[in-house]
Amino acid sequence: MDDQKPIRVIIVDDHAVVRSGLSAFLMVFDDLDFVGEAASGEEAVRLCKNLNPDVVLMDLVMPGMDGAAATQAIRENCPETQVIALTSFKEDDLVQRTLRAGAIGYLLKNVSANELVTAIRAAHAGRPTLAPEAAHVLIQASQNPPAVGSDLTSREREILSLMVSGLSNPDIAEQLVVSRSTVKFHVSSILSKLGVNSRTHAVTLALQNKLV
């Protein structure tokens, strides 16, 4: 790896102790370069836009924007950046939502140091790494496809309901007292989860499947 640039890594976790431990770990390896840390999903998205890291180690359960939503936003804004979910949680819906958001890896926090650094190097090379628990969830999901719209969050269902009512993005933003960019992000997520590319199709699916 001597003739290659170090892999630039950002750590995202709402616990300072975890960020400190991971940053100290990264500094041990010559081919890994710790370039920044964030305590929230929103901060992680801003940091990635500024630093354009190679790999993000992403906690999933955080106040505000969670890790899955942050992963999706990062992948949309910084497509060259790979995201590895590093979490204590292995719930089926969280695994599926995170991988659908674009994470290339899903590891539990009890992973060994060697396994973590191997996963970071693999992510940088475009290769996925999944904890056995996450791989099991994907196998189960392929055998039992989820119902249409089952992965929509409560906020996304609320916005979808307003879309069905015929409201535009600015109208929705005004009604929910949020920014237009926030509404645009949620609408994009709704279309992605429903597997459609237009608001009209999303509304049709919502009515057909009684999602709202």
Decide: 80 and 52 in contact? Cβ < 8 Å: yes
CATH homologous superfamily of domain 7-143?
Answer: Response regulator (3.40.50.2300)
170 close to 176: Cβ distance less than 8 angstroms: no
Sort 143 into a burial class: Cβ within 10 Å, 0-12 / 13-18 / 19+: exposed
Using one digit for the tens of pLDDT, what is the confidence trace for 136-186? 877 776 666 667 888 898 899 999 999 999 999 999 999 999 999 999 999
Topology of domain 154-208 in CATH is Arc Repressor Mutant, subunit A (1.10.10)
The ranges of the chain annotated as CATH 3.40.50.2300 are 7-143
Q: Where in the chain is the domain with CATH 1.10.10.10?
A: 154-208
pTM summary value:
0.67
Tens-digit pLDDT profile for residues 115-127: 999 999 999 999 9
167-176 tens-digit pLDDT: 999 999 999 9
pLDDT higher than threshold 60 for residue 2: no
Q: What is the pLDDT of residues 12-66, one digit of tens each?
A: 999 999 999 999 989 999 999 999 999 999 999 999 999 999 999 999 999 889 9
Backbone angle region of 178, left / alpha / beta, with phi > 0 → left and psi within -120 to 50 → alpha: beta
